Chain A
């Protein structure tokens, strides 16, 4: 799991330089072995190494799921100097246990407050800022442009336009939405968006923070709209037995026309045999025009563990990661969006549209399962899945979620 070659080279270098080199070792734990993200990270580290020849960078790159388990041990047992992790509620347990180092001073020194402004609220907890983000990606509706063209449909801007477009698709034997809820989280994407459009960013944050009940009127309204979407648009049958990748099959076969997903899915769409010209993207339509648009944009960031040995160089690396030129290059390689507003985006059409959409957003939600605590997230997503399979269970689902909420917070 360790990148043995890198480690070996680094170790060899360390031995050559002798005992004094120890002080300048910088250990970074990263969590993505997929080709694009790995390349982006490796390039950035190489550049950092070139700019700081006195620092000896040691990289441990681990699989994402394995990293989620490992971080719980290595933060206390064998802390690296920098680790990748996620903001929002995902960082909360570590912040509360005092395992991360606040970097508020770094933000002030480097003036991040201005260029990374959109993400500042999610990086903040207990009045301190805890990390530096390097990348995020948009969520929205990906659709089959060729099917829309055949049916002479425009990208819907409003809820009513979406519902009437769905009507037309169903008349022509096309299921409007595909989704795979076996692993639950795709259902949360749909719920989050309906909630963001019905009630807005503040309600989303209040709900995931446990300040609004599921049986309260605003959330009931969200579920009412969810029911409208299920009845008038509809999702593919058997979604509960499909993963998000399985659900691409009806989409690429032309049986379903739309998919509420994150931008990482584009690669999978293309791999399923679709052509870029058959695909397009539009933001989730407005439901209430008085609610300013907020979007889902899960963010990846770097943190300094409290037990890090080389915090000085760790801060250097975090400052480096936030630089516009670094973020531009990195995100071009991995096909995501830079967070620094000074950075450029690649000319990929999905990235361009996502960038425009996120720059207009009033707030950026992290995603239901990153904003809500783990137990609540699990219960919530199971509730959404259950509601999607049988809308008559609404009352039971809401009661159960209120019970869990009362226990969790």
Chain B
């Protein structure tokens, strides 16, 4: 009786502290099982050589190889190509931020029907990445795509071939962007930028709504206009929007998987691979089935992301502190 009473009163006394945890438990449990635990499991797996099979009695066929997978990774030219492409994605994807800002400034006017234009500009972000990849794949196609058709109109003449069908003879063959090892990655990044610019634009548009009119007014009275107005008055007020835009763009660049899978499958001969796709290719795809090696790639990708995410969390924490 006595014990129960104290327990009861302890619950009552601490219910404000306990309640959040009760609500957090389901999320925490799922997060632990589906995110935290797999991270450690795949780090662990990266020290094994394993083709993903279990024997008939259910034991794994994995063999411990220590850091072998990482040594192999160091000597693997495809890994370095992927890493280089990842950096390329990160760098070029950042273009989405200033371009998004430009379009947002341009659209931030009061013209009749502006909402329609805004939603048209936002449209690419609504389409699935897979569809964007498909559309751009056709766009680049040298035979029937826009690029091919324009090229044909400029550099090719129509002829009748031996069996009497219409054919084209070109002074130089149409550019085949997605199968050229030099340009394919740029082609895919350009496709990826399309929806990403729209995303940044919408972030800036909402940001622009909150720009204080009195400050603009004050700036104008002090004689600021054009670039100086943008740089010293508008942009500082857009800082939260810029921060989020950079964050989502970095994340978008690092998870550039679907476009590559749709447009080139990492080809031609591995030149458009990024770490995420290379990991998929070695571990799960038909010609992969090397789970240990794939996990090693995943671990490296995880470490890269970890650095970035730590910085991001630290910044958030600082901002929160400043805000209070």
Q: Which residues of A contact B (CB under 8 A)?
A: 65, 68, 72, 75-76, 93-94, 96-99, 144, 146-147, 150-151, 172-174, 182-184, 237-242, 246, 249, 253-255, 305-307, 369, 374-375, 377-378, 382-383, 385-386, 389, 400, 407
Residue of A nearest to B141 (CB): A241
Contact with A along B165-182 (1 / 0, CB 8 A): 101010001101011000
B269, A255: Cβ atoms closer than 8 Å? no
Q: Which residues of B contact A (CB under 8 A)?
A: 51-56, 58, 61, 72, 77, 140-143, 159, 161-165, 167, 169, 173-174, 176, 178-179, 265, 267-270, 281, 286-290
B53, A94: Cβ atoms closer than 8 Å? yes
- In the complex, given contacts A173-B161, A307-B56, what are 5 additional A-B residue pairs having Cβ atoms less than 8 angstroms apart? A97-B54, A173-B162, A182-B179, A254-B165, A375-B290
B56 CB contact (under 8 Å) in A237, A249, A306, A400: A306
A253, B53: Cβ atoms closer than 8 Å? no
B143, A238: Cβ atoms closer than 8 Å? yes
Provide a sorted-by-A list of 15 A–B residue pairs whose CB atoms are within 8 angstroms. Answer: A72-B53, A75-B53, A76-B53, A93-B51, A98-B55, A173-B161, A241-B142, A253-B165, A254-B163, A254-B165, A255-B165, A369-B287, A375-B287, A382-B270, A383-B269
Assembled-state Cα–Cα distance A172/B167 (Å): 13
Complex contacts, A150 vs chain B, CB 8 Å: 162-163
A238 CB contact (under 8 Å) in B176, B281, B289: B176
Assembled-state Cα–Cα distance A382/B270 (Å): 8
Cβ of A322 to closest chain B Cβ, rounded Å: 25
A407, B176: Cβ atoms closer than 8 Å? no
Interface majority SS (helix, strand, loop, mixed), chain A: helix
Interface majority SS (helix, strand, loop, mixed), chain B: loop
Contacts known (A76-B58, A182-B267, A385-B269); A241 close to B176, Cβ less than 8 A: yes
B55 CB contact (under 8 Å) in A97, A253, A255, A386: A97
Assembled-state Cα–Cα distance A173/B162 (Å): 7
Complex contacts, B54 vs chain A, CB 8 Å: 76, 97
Complex contacts, B56 vs chain A, CB 8 Å: 75-76, 97-99, 305-307
A237, B55: Cβ atoms closer than 8 Å? no
Complex contacts, B163 vs chain A, CB 8 Å: 144, 146-147, 150, 254
Complex contacts, A246 vs chain B, CB 8 Å: 143
Assembled-state Cα–Cα distance A147/B141 (Å): 27
Assembled-state Cα–Cα distance A68/B288 (Å): 12
